[in-house]
Structure 1
């Protein structure tokens, strides 16, 4: 009988290709630790790859029942791996999402199914209830894996848990893609940040993007726009922005049809500049230099841990266009040794997760 593992908060069909990275990357990590014949399934907050969702309706339907819909789902597995949706182990997105995560942990504990937190960002928690739920989940987990040093320190100092593995993002567990169409500079513009949002000033972000494109053209670079959150009905969608800018500025666009298509595109580019962290991580993991335009605390610590200092924080007030363009020029003058060293360091960090997961067999 095959060993079965469920990856929580992951979806191989998500319009957000970063979510797909987490799903496929977690599965690759699990198979490295537990063997290629392990059965890996995925459960998002909603249905996604699953036949059910893990939201309020099914939480209430499951409540007080020995054989509720959520319990039936969870008891099928030998291990639960919580991906944290990468950066959702926090209360900054509201307590609702965190409560759904907490409920899955609570039910799994009652069923005797171990839960390991895969490599992810931990914290911050800004509310008393959020901190209590976060601490409970970490302290009761079979293992805790973090993907950056800031998360490790936060887990230890704020939640009283020492991580079992100080790892990195699971994108580095994915195979090298086949070559795609050559591109010079792929620029990922975030549909989330293009509209009013809770992260950065959207008007300032738009001004930065227009200034960056203009500056890259003056340098003689060819800019192609890359969507990393693709067609979907939600406002968080890069494709409409890519089309709008492409039409206005006469730029080519790439709207990937799949994660493999996206990785082939970034792997065949000279440089990727992106506001979606996994657009940049996809590039670095395939050997392409990248400049992340960060909008949250998840970017810089992860990049710093794997030795990549070329991160620009959109939340800061200083002018970014000229420093960005200077970094583009400096990257053009160097070879890819820095990226090769980064990839080796990342794979070594990821191996700590593989070895830790082996201990759960």
Structure 2
């Protein structure tokens, strides 16, 4: 190999231009950690299920074109890289989003194995797999990976039940992003992220109850003198029914019930999204990365948790302000109570300690990542 050649790395299930800002977090956070691991001696590309930043997709049509050929589109793409880092799209290495998505992930892993390219599972939630075929795919993929990294202890314990020990536990890569955590005037009071995933569908909980509790929480807060603005974290989704659509419907319902003056902030990019959050007193959200983005820039956040991915990760960090939508009998009332508590004690010291703990855990992961490919040794041969 030439000394000038850089390590070529592909980050799976991430997109710097994604409608979902969580995928943008996964892109930039993982890219930073990869460059840290290899002293910036790496080029990093991104591949989502659809094309996104890539020149192809890893979806159904590409799999059909690839599966019976020696060199189909997915194989050709994979062969360009020295290392593959799989983000699991944060929490998609599970069967809660359906077996089709899990199959896409598992098929990519098989192509990677066939071409003898190192596969790393970056910090992510793993499981649950509630189907036999889901557990089959999971076990096979875990055997393929050279490094398995989970972002919470519950995932570490779950991986153990599948016959593989996690090699590392590190928190979410959002804490690897540059922080806008600076002393600044708080332009916003409460930013409320309304999730289109929960607003329009019952796939992850009772949507009618979610809408009712969201309206009640904002009504209570505005009546108590707090200012609430909406902050979509998934925007301009091609499939529709994103957080902007949910925010629009919510605003209309609030107006009909006499609650006026609730604006919607739409970020143009990830930097602006994080800037909005750093200028807020509190962020409330059902998108987990909306809440993690907030905590990573020093702003208290109250997640409305709809799946197993929330509580273990936040609990490991030491953040206790979490509403579990599956068990809470009064999410709106609990949220108002938590905001009152945070107003009395903003928890700045706790958030600072969480950030330090998170950065340390990601540093440990980055060092283990650097050992997967001995790149300096490779380029000298």
Alpha-carbon deviation of 1:235?
3.5
Taking structure 1 as the reference length, the TM-score comes to: 0.96
Residue 144 (structure 1) aligns with: 148
Aligned equivalents of 1:68, 1:199: Cα separation in 2: 35
Alpha-carbon deviation of 1:103?
1.2
Tell me which of 18, 33, 38 is aligned to 2:22: 18
Alpha-carbon deviation of 1:213?
0.9
Tell me which of 101, 107, 112 is aligned to 2:111: 107
Aligned equivalents of 1:67, 1:191: Cα separation in 2: 39
Residue 168 (structure 1) aligns with: 171
SS at match of 1:254: coil
Residue 123 (structure 2) aligns with: 119
SS at match of 1:107: helix
Give deviations 1:101-142, integer Å, cap 9, x for gaps.
111111111111010000000011111111011011011211
Correspondences of 1:151-190 after superposition (within 5 Å)? 151-156=155-160, 158-177=161-180, 182-190=187-195
Alpha-carbon deviation of 1:317?
5.0
Residue 102 (structure 2) aligns with: 98
Question: Is 2:250 the counterpart of 1:238?
Answer: no
Aligned equivalents of 2:64, 2:263: Cα separation in 1: 48
Correspondences of 1:7-86 after superposition (within 5 Å)? 7-86=11-90
Q: Structure 1: 5+ residue runs without aligned partners?
A: none
Residue 232 (structure 2) aligns with: 227
Is residue 90–residue 130 contact of structure 1 (8 Å, CA) maintained in 2?
yes
Question: Is 2:298 the counterpart of 1:287?
Answer: yes
Is residue 192–residue 235 contact of structure 1 (8 Å, CA) maintained in 2?
no
Residue 361 (structure 2) aligns with: 349
SS at match of 1:252: coil
Give deviations 1:247-285, integer Å, cap 9, x for gaps.
523212101111111111001111101111000000000
Alpha-carbon deviation of 1:219?
2.8
Alpha-carbon deviation of 1:78?
0.7
Question: Is 2:368 the counterpart of 1:359?
Answer: no
Is residue 7–residue 40 contact of structure 1 (8 Å, CA) maintained in 2?
yes
Taking structure 2 as the reference length, the TM-score comes to: 0.91
Is residue 181–residue 298 contact of structure 2 (8 Å, CA) maintained in 1?
no
Aligned equivalents of 1:293, 1:317: Cα separation in 2: 10
Is residue 229–residue 236 contact of structure 1 (8 Å, CA) maintained in 2?
no
Q: How many pairs does the alignment contain?
A: 360
Misfit runs of 4+, over 4 Å:
178-181
Aligned equivalents of 1:32, 1:26: Cα separation in 2: 10
Is residue 245–residue 251 contact of structure 1 (8 Å, CA) maintained in 2?
no
Q: Structure 2: 5+ residue runs without aligned partners?
A: 374-381
Residue 319 (structure 2) aligns with: 308
Question: Is 2:326 the counterpart of 1:322?
Answer: no
